[in-house]
Amino acid sequence: MRTRLMLNCHEATFLMAKKEEGKLRLIDRLKLTFHTSMCRFCRLFQRQARQISAESRQILSDQMLSPAFKDRMEQLINDNYQG
């Protein structure tokens, strides 16, 4: 990021994702802490974004295939593969 000490909210929220992955340089970590210590909206964003990532990990990939798709797939397999 730039050499300015003050981040704006757009930059701060952008850096939060990097921070969560441990990919933030010390100088940017400091800038981010400085910004969130003063900006309650970004503090709230950070809290809610963390909550979203924590909840997402619990989402089971229950994206089931539709019965129609399964039928089509079975047909294709039968047509393409006589094993």
Amino acid at 8: N
Shortest CA distance to 18 belongs to which of 27, 30, 9, 28?
Answer: 28
Q: How far is Cα 66 from Cα 35, in angstroms, rounded to an integer?
A: 47
Rg for the chain, CA atoms, rounded:
23
Of 5, 30, 53, 71, the residue at the interface with another protein (CB under 8 A) is 53
Contact pattern for another protein over residues 5 through 44, marking x by CB under 8 A: ---xxxx-xx-xxx--x-x-----------------xx-x
Distance of CA 7 to the CA centre of its chain: 21
Place of tokens 């619990």: 58
- The reply to whether 55 sits near another protein by the rule CB under 8 A is yes
Between 3 and 80, CB nearer to another protein? 80
Give contact residues for another protein (rule: CB under 8 A).
Answer: 8-11, 13-14, 16-18, 21, 23, 41-42, 44-45, 48-49, 51-53, 55-59, 61, 65, 69, 72-73, 76-77, 80-81, 83
